Amino acid sequence: MLQSIGKKYKYYFFGFLFILLSTVNNTELQNSFNLNPKIKVIEVFGLHKDLNDKIKNKMAYLKDRSIYKIDENKMINNLQEYAFIENYKVSKVYPSKLIIELIETEYLAKTILNNKKYIVGSNGKLIDIKHIRDESELPNIFGNFSSKSFIKLIEKINYAKFDYSEINNFYYFPNLRWDIEMKNNLLIKLPRNNLESSLNKINKIIKDSKFSNARIIDLRLPGQLIILNK
């Protein structure tokens, strides 16, 4: 009889303890079992330290928020504010870590618009030069160009295996045509269309010692090649 009474009180005790933990102390119970984990650590990498820290500070609002309830649209919009980001990957490491891996865009050229200097990235965006550590080796772009037109030209240059590192200046004209000036002062006048075949021709010409004194290579007229020497 005494044994059954003892068991009865034991059941009451554990029942009371369960109710206490599930009501009064519910938040602590959840945290202890990671039922509602909060973000405590945010790691950002992929860029140089200054830019990583800049993005990390931007994302600080996520700390102490549920790792299950991240507003992904807001986070994406925040990352897209930075024109120097080409791509990104966000990973959740449960229970409390968020890892943001950033891929920096390739810096292709520099230009001036409305008296302000910008860098053109391979993502087609204009990047404030204050975010760039060294732009001294980048070619210049002159003219009222569109990023889409420039990226298309770069794609053709890469496809033709044209030596991009030897380009000093790009010139864009209202008739949607480009000129390229090389570091050796050779001026290349490209046609509006058929850029790939034109660049392939130019590649052969500049590698031929017979044309080492060329000052202008003009391919603007269909079916014609004009070379002017120094």
Both 74 and 166 in one domain: the answer is: no
In a domain, 184, yes or no: yes
Q: Which pLDDT score is estimated for 35?
A: 63
Which pTM was predicted? 0.77
The answer on pLDDT for 18 being more than 50 is: no
Question: Which residue blocks in the chain are alpha helix, DSSP H?
Answer: 2-23, 26-32, 49-58, 72-80, 147-159, 195-207
Q: If you count them, how many residues does the chain have?
A: 230
In a domain, 25, yes or no: no
In a domain, 30, yes or no: no
Q: Which pLDDT score is estimated for 122?
A: 95
d(CA 119, CA 138): 9
In a domain, 26, yes or no: no
Both 111 and 201 in one domain: the answer is: yes
Given phi > 0 = left and psi -120 to 50 = alpha, else beta, which region is 146? Answer: beta
pLDDT tens across 170-189, in order?
999 999 999 999 999 999 99
Beta bridge partners of 43: 99
Between the CA atoms of 70, 71, 75 and 81, what dihedral angle is there, to the nearest 10 degrees? -170
The answer on pLDDT for 2 being more than 80 is: no
Cβ-Cβ contacts under 8 Å for 84 (sequence gap 6 or more): 47, 51, 104, 105, 121, 125, 127, 131, 132
- The mean of the pLDDT values for the chain is 85
Q: Which residue has the higher pLDDT, 19 or 99?
A: 99
CA-angle at 175, arms to 174 and 178, nearest 5°: 85
Both 212 and 117 in one domain: the answer is: yes
Both 132 and 92 in one domain: the answer is: no
d(CA 195, CA 174): 17
Both 82 and 115 in one domain: the answer is: no
Both 115 and 220 in one domain: the answer is: yes
Q: Which pLDDT score is estimated for 34?
A: 57
The answer on pLDDT for 63 being more than 90 is: yes
CATH of the domain at 222: 3.40.50.11690
CB atoms within 10 A of CB 210: 8
The answer on pLDDT for 68 being more than 80 is: yes
Q: How many domains does the chain have?
A: 2
pLDDT tens across 128-172, in order?
988 787 777 899 999 999 999 999 999 999 998 888 999 999 999
Mean pLDDT, range 103-113, rounded to an integer: 94
Decide: 142 and 168 in contact? Cβ < 8 Å.
no
Given phi > 0 = left and psi -120 to 50 = alpha, else beta, which region is 199? Answer: alpha
pLDDT tens across 209-230, in order?
888 888 999 999 988 889 998 7
Mean pLDDT, range 197-208, rounded to an integer: 88
Residue 173, domain extent: 107-229
Q: Which pLDDT score is estimated for 29?
A: 44
Percentage of the chain with pLDDT > 70? 85
Both 120 and 64 in one domain: the answer is: no
